[in-house]
Amino acid sequence: MSGRLRSKFSKKGAAREKEIPYYSEEYKEKLVVEMMSPNGRSISEIHRATGISENSLYSWKNRYGGVEGESEEVRQPRPENWDGERKLLALIETAGLNKQEMSEYCRENGLYVEQMERWKEFAIAGTESGTLLTR
């Protein structure tokens, strides 16, 4: 989620160390999706909750979510960040497809056939063991 990098800054000749926060691309995208969702939190609310500067949040919003008003559609998370419900929906949508159709579906949705096969295995294992589809 986040880490810290050390950087040296000098102020009038005096060297001091300052920790610079590091946030993963997935974490940034998650926050952008949250701030752009119809019922999501505002940039100010996310700033207060996380301590991340509003400037950084605006920058991430422009980078990962496009310019506000440019599109009505909220940027969707990458398939590896999909929740179990979205993965199950993809499995249902592709259940009757042949290999060629499955490949086309995967290309259109930024997936790999191998991901779908793995999700299917997890779903089957989950129904047998009672665990949820999370990977």
Over residues 97-129, the pLDDT tens digits come to 999 999 999 988 888 999 999 999 988 888 776
φ, ψ dihedrals at 26, nearest 5°: -65, -40
- pLDDT digit string (tens) for 5-60? 554 555 555 555 667 788 888 898 888 888 887 777 888 899 999 999 989 988 88
Please tell me the pTM assigned to this model: 0.41
The closest of 67, 23, 124 to 133, measured between CA atoms, is: 124
User: Measured between alpha carbons, how far is 114 from 117 in angstroms, rounded to an integer?
Assistant: 5
Asked if 23 contacts 1 with a C-beta cutoff of 8 angstroms, the reply is yes
CB 61 within 8 A of CB 42: no
What whole-number distance in Å separates Cα of residue 74 and Cα of residue 127? 32
